[in-house]
Amino acid sequence: MSSDIDALFERTRAEDRAALVGYLPAGFPTKELSIKAIEAMVEGGVDLVEVGLPYSDPVMDGPVIQAAAEQALAAGSRTTDVFDVVRASAAAGAPTVVMSYWNPVDRYGVDRFSADLAAAGGSGLITPDLIPDEAAEWIAASNAHDLDRIFLVAPSSTDDRLAMTVDAASGFVYATAVMGVTGAREQTSSLGEELVARVRSVSGKPVGVGLGVSNGQQAHEIAAYADAVIVGSALVRCLLEAADESSGLDAIRALAQDLRKGVERN
């Protein structure tokens, strides 16, 4: 069955551009402001939203996203709040997925989490620390609730591991183009193009490249070879460094507009 994410990539391919994927944590700095920030991101041109589930042990996240998660948790953000944010994001007109470490999903209950995510209008789940061969419960739940499974591949993935991961994924494959933790970088990694080519050698599924994009020029470089450009830390920083709510939302909208221009291929 075709999902909202499948339809999005059909559209962006027809428009000869990459999709723009934007990440923000739920509840950062408050639930209400995280919803406003996502709405600003979508107004600015983000095609697909990743809602982060704040977690107390974010081993793969860089300092910007860690700081945001800490603020969200300090403000009392809970897993149930994530579904409220997903509902608002989907209502803003963008397919919406949750990005979460596996522990909170497991603790909530895999089928219950999947049912609540689908009921909120969510399209799928990104699981950065879950590998397909340990994901039987999630695969069953995602099939039961028509959710896309977005798994990660990295430059260090062996050919066998990459092929198995891509085969288990749906919606798109998340290619982490740099080794190490997340965060905006001065230059995009040269590993991204090679990794996308490896995925394409085993599948026609869309490939999104993340970790490190902070401006439209970098987005344009990645859009030349990827199906989606994923941006997280740079958007989060707009809120972290803002003097007030209004300027933070303006900064997110402006960055999204710059990135959206960047994902055009002409």
Neighbours of 94 (CB within 10 A): 22
81 labelled catalytic: no
Active-site hit among 61, 116, 148, 221: 61
Q: Is 43 tagged catalytic?
A: no
Active site amino acids: 50, 61
